[in-house]
Structure 1
Amino acid sequence: MPRTYRKTSKPKDLYCYEIKHKESDLLISSGENLKDTALKSLKKYRNQIEEYIEKDPHFASALIPYKLLKSAPLITRKMQEAGKVCGVGPMAAVAGAISQFVGKDLLKLTDEVIIENGGDIFIKTKKTRKIAIFSGNTPWKDKLILVINPEQTPIGICTSSGKIGHSLSFGKANAVAVTSYCAILADAVATAVGNMIQSPHDIPKAIRYCRKIKNIKGLVIIKDSDLGIWGDIQLEDRERNTIEIR
């Protein structure tokens, strides 16, 4: 899927650059130009995951929580822990894991970082940032904006869709966005919630499910014309009317 949304996703007050390695394609905005450092970090963590998969091939295809070898590196352990919380395989959290691990490496060198990895975001910011939620061909298309304030960061904002993008989903949600101080957990939970949504009637059940998961801060679900919102989350529409849930 062409990432045309990136044309309007570059903050003017930060250095913005893209890095790519194999299937990973990251848009990074940071207080310093750290492109070379970011690429080294991305390669390091991808190599750790790939080398582990060579030892334990089922890790890559598991769709339910999976027991790791004792030699598993930290990034794969964090993916496994997140998947275990919500009943999905560890690779459901891989994009969030890459974003967070690379982001934390860069935060050793700068005080602001935004990493977008296929709709999964890790952000540490000194000013309010606004993130559009892409929902495809729905009445909410290009209308909903998630507001992230500095005191909320670092935070992860991860999305899942049964209709948009290449990631595996067994549901039919147009968009599920989850916020958590752990981007890895947000990614896994977004996948789990996305799998639950077959029709708008599933939205209340998905919200009840999310309320029980520790460290999830907020949730947005879009299914056709229906919208579900829960948690400590602030949304604006394009007319800048605020929708705040606490």
Structure 2
Amino acid sequence: MDYLERTYREQHRQEDLVHFQITVQETDLDIGVRRERFSPELVGWIEETIRACRKPLEEYIRQDPGFLKALVPYGVPEHAPLIVKAMAEAGQSAGVGPMAAVAGAVAEWVGKAIVKRSRDVIVENGGDIFIRSTRLRKVGIFAGNSPLSNRVALEIRPEQTPLGICTSSGKVGPSLSFGKADAVVVLSPSVALADAVATACGNLVQSEEDLERTIEFASQIPGVSGCLVIKNERLAVWGSVKIMPMKV
């Protein structure tokens, strides 16, 4: 299947950036930075940044295994690591378990670190994206077997960034979803929140009739700036989302 080879990554790569992949255990990132900022040293530093991001999360899960398994909002103590609290808060807002936000939370942590070294940054983690840009960007949408897959894209303006662009699907990818959406895309300044809400929205879509209530649900969550849902040949959109043809 295509998603196993992560061919969808071609939909967000930018010609003016150098893209490269770094894998640390389960974390598999596609990263884009400005050409003049790329170096083997930067790659090594980002790998260490990923390890530093994962370490407190891994240690917390060992102490509190319920955090890993929860499929509903899960409380954590005030002294929990920042990434753990961010995931728990995102899950609480979306009505899902904290691990629904893990890919977005990691992308955001790593992306914000890289921004200190490159003004343009894209970090993609399993379909969940952190983007910071000084120019207009076009991010394509992969929606499995839908006729709209790879045909529509999001236009992202510099003033919208830093921004989280997170995708959930009931048909594509290994992540858990109880729905049947071809793609749900959620935008938020918080990548962890966008990730959790995309999962929650994806769970709501069983048929084409569910598109309207899904974007209505997303619109009620503070911090969410936009939502797009694709099911078969239908598309619904709400908020600060500008769509355009993938190829012009």
TM-score grouping bracket, smaller chain normalisation: over 0.9
Matching residue of 1:101: 109
Q: Does 1:6 align with 2:9?
A: yes
Correspondence for 1:150 among 129, 153, 158: 158
Q: Deviation at 1:6?
A: 3.0
1:26 aligns with 2:29: yes
Residue identity matched to 1:230: W
CA deviation vs aligned residue, 1:34-90 (integer Å, no higher than 9, x gap): 211211111111111111000000100100010113431000100000100111000
Match of 1:91 among 95, 99, 109: 99
Structure 2 match to 1:195: 203
Please, which runs of 5 or more residues in structure 1 have no aligned partner? 241-246
Measured against aligned partners, the alpha-carbon deviations of 1:10-41 in whole angstroms (never above 9, x if no partner) come to 32322221100011110101122221121111
Contact 1:37 1:106 in 2 (8 A): no
Give RMSD over aligned pairs.
Answer: 1.3
Report the alpha carbon displacement of residue 210 of structure 1 after superposing the two structures with TM: 1.3
Partner of 2:56: 48
2:186 to 178, 183, 187: 178
Partner Cα distance (2:72, 2:18) in 1: 39
The AA in structure 2 aligned to 1:20 is: T
**Equivalent residue letter for 2:226:** G
Of 29-38 and 182-191, deviating more is: 29-38
Closer, same or farther: CA 239–111 of 1 in aligned 2, 3 Å: closer
* Residues matched between the structures, number: 240
Give distance in 1, aligned partners of 2:247 and 2:12.
Answer: 19
Give distance in 1, aligned partners of 2:10 and 2:246.
18
Match of 1:162 in 2: 170
Distance across 2 between alignment mates of 1:198 and 1:141? 18
Q: Aligned partners of 1:151 and 1:104: how far apart in 2?
A: 16
Matched-pair contact (CA < 8 Å) for 1:48–1:73: yes
Using the alignment, how far apart are the partners of 1:8 and 1:156 within structure 2?
A: 16
Aligned-residue offset at 1:200: 0.9
Identity rate, percent: 47
Q: CA deviation at 1:7?
A: 4.7
Alignment-mate amino acid for residue 88 of structure 1: V
State the one-letter code of the partner of 2:142: F
Question: Which has the larger displacement, 27-36 or 123-132?
Answer: 27-36
- Deviation of the 1:232 alpha carbon: 1.0
Q: Give the TM-score, by structure 1 length.
A: 0.94
Q: Secondary structure at the match of 1:19?
A: strand
Choose from 66, 80, 86 the match for 1:58.
Answer: 66
**d(CA) in 1 for partners of 2:245, 2:16:** 23
Question: What amino acid maps onto 1:13 in structure 2?
Answer: D
Q: Which residue of 2 aligns with 1:244?
A: none
Q: Deviations over 1:209-243 (max 9, x none)?
A: 11111121111100111111111111012454xxx
Uncovered stretches (5+) of structure 2, i.e. residues with no partner: none
